[in-house]
Structure 1
């Protein structure tokens, strides 16, 4: 039997200190909330607050709300506004964590917010250069700044966990993601993890990359013009949406990993929510356990016939 997060109602992350960088919405928000549900103290960062809206332009999703959701779930949520492209702001966040707790046990590097920049259907020589470079800033430079500022605190104690959040596994990203800048941006965290694993392993810490499947984020629901209660109506437009998962699913994947005392066995690995669900036995909000990447591969394979998403849940 594989290690699990404990019995219902258990709080294995009580006393653990986490920083979820990029927790305004989507996967980052639910990763923070699910860490809180297991008793963790979770510092959440992002650019959208109740006083200021980021370039993403979604004013109703704020880090203050995320922190409140963490606390309501049973943890302690702390909202810390920060633009992770500004090293001074990131250092201020880490300094706050150090002053308050003197340690950092879990670092989730989920900086992104670049969906509005992606141009699919264009060749490399047709892409908007400014949009492409902004994606690289958000998805690579922001991650590197966060790591450099936070790792000195995390490595003070053995057992620390670093999670690089991306879109796709090492295997699924072997194919081309349809936009040169996006492809590079989303493969970079996987490669970062390999380097981090080599350097963190000898000091007793662990690094992994983690991806959701077809994420039913707030942005994605709006994109397809559906809500969480009627999301299946979008399948007619996008067949792959049949395997869609809620952000809670990848949040539970992260929490299960963080609570696993034997998590170092994953060091350097590229992991997905569907893969970890098979190991840790958690489910999505509807009781299913969608394994998106094998389904999408089967659906898009040359000569593929009808593929039933239920076979992958």
Structure 2
């Protein structure tokens, strides 16, 4: 383990995939800042607060730091990064995971038959990742290595749960690509990647499966545990060829095979196997 603990920020880490990623990175010895709006038990229908996540990070072997931050408020985001820079002087990994996910996302119907609030995936999920990356970049650009990760899914390239979800995931993959162009232009050693997570066995997914086992029951056998992607991010960060991977979207299950990572003793299937889905290969054209 290095003398200096790597400094990580995981956004949207009160619960779910963000919480699992944060704890996994804590187990690898990182100082992990965890953000979210929930810091009081009972203020959200699902269990979990950022303080509970931060405590779990510390118990796992790292150092957890909870910071209340509404990522739809740019002023709060600016203050968050100012705090990290003041306290740590650097930021090694940013995991853009914050998003506004409503239970109605999985309800039946066409997009016009579902509540308009599902547009929050676009109005909150996309800007929150862009703004966090915008504030992280000046800190990271001064370093000899840094990594920005977007948590995405195969819905970026095929229909999944409606237009809002698809637009959100496709945007994350494209941001990872385009930010790399700017980092390369500025000769910064900052990598930007997107990772397609599988179905993540969070409390929310367990509720969805229980609501309609005939429709969703099959997800249990192929789901990934919440910490799985955190182990993959650790593998990426320590990859000597990280900068060559920048700008790409990876299927998490395939990264796991490359890095020899398993998910609690099992190997989750790749979207390439189950759906014939693969990330887009963007054109090399650059217009500045």
User: TM bucket by the smaller chain?
Assistant: 0.7 to 0.9
DSSP 3-state at the match of 2:229? helix
Equivalent in the alignment of 2:284 = none
Select the residue among 120, 123, 131 that pairs with 1:145: 131
Select the residue among 257, 265, 269 that pairs with 1:291: 269
DSSP 3-state at the match of 1:108? strand
- The count of residues paired between Structure 1 and Structure 2 equals 275
TM-score (norm 2): 0.87
CA shift at 1:281, angstroms?
0.4
Q: Are the aligned partners of 2:122 and 2:168 in contact in 1 as well (CA < 8 Å)?
A: yes
Equivalent in the alignment of 1:176 = 159
Select the residue among 64, 68, 78 that pairs with 1:81: 68
Equivalent in the alignment of 1:118 = 105
Select the residue among 7, 26, 31 that pairs with 1:17: 7
Equivalent in the alignment of 1:107 = 94
Q: Write out aligned runs for 1:1-313 (5 A).
A: 11-12=1-2, 14-50=4-40, 53-54=43-44, 57-58=45-46, 60-118=47-105, 120-129=107-116, 131-168=117-154, 173-201=156-184, 202-225=187-210, 237-285=216-264, 287-297=265-275
Matched residues in 2 for 1:117 and 1:265: separation?
39
- Structure 2's unaligned 5+ residue stretches are 278-288
1:225-274 per-residue CA deviation (whole Å, 9 max, x = no partner) reads 39xxxxxx958853344211111212211121122233112111111220
1:77-124 per-residue CA deviation (whole Å, 9 max, x = no partner) reads 100010001011111111111111111111111011414241554334
C-alpha distance 167-115 of structure 1, shift in aligned 2 (>3 A):
farther
Matched residues in 2 for 1:144 and 1:265: separation?
22
1:4-34 per-residue CA deviation (whole Å, 9 max, x = no partner) reads xxxxxxx358421111111111221121112
Q: Are the aligned partners of 2:208 and 2:216 in contact in 1 as well (CA < 8 Å)?
A: no
DSSP 3-state at the match of 1:164? strand
Q: Are the aligned partners of 2:254 and 2:270 in contact in 1 as well (CA < 8 Å)?
A: no
C-alpha distance 212-12 of structure 1, shift in aligned 2 (>3 A):
farther
TM-score (norm 1): 0.81
Matched residues in 2 for 1:34 and 1:119: separation?
28
Matched residues in 1 for 2:159 and 2:215: separation?
24
Matched residues in 2 for 1:17 and 1:132: separation?
33
CA shift at 1:165, angstroms?
1.1
Matched residues in 2 for 1:213 and 1:260: separation?
22
CA shift at 1:133, angstroms?
2.4
CA shift at 1:142, angstroms?
1.5
Equivalent in the alignment of 1:230 = none
What is the RMSD of the two structures over their aligned residues, measured on CA atoms?
Answer: 2.4
Q: Are the aligned partners of 2:93 and 2:148 in contact in 1 as well (CA < 8 Å)?
A: yes
CA shift at 1:154, angstroms?
1.8
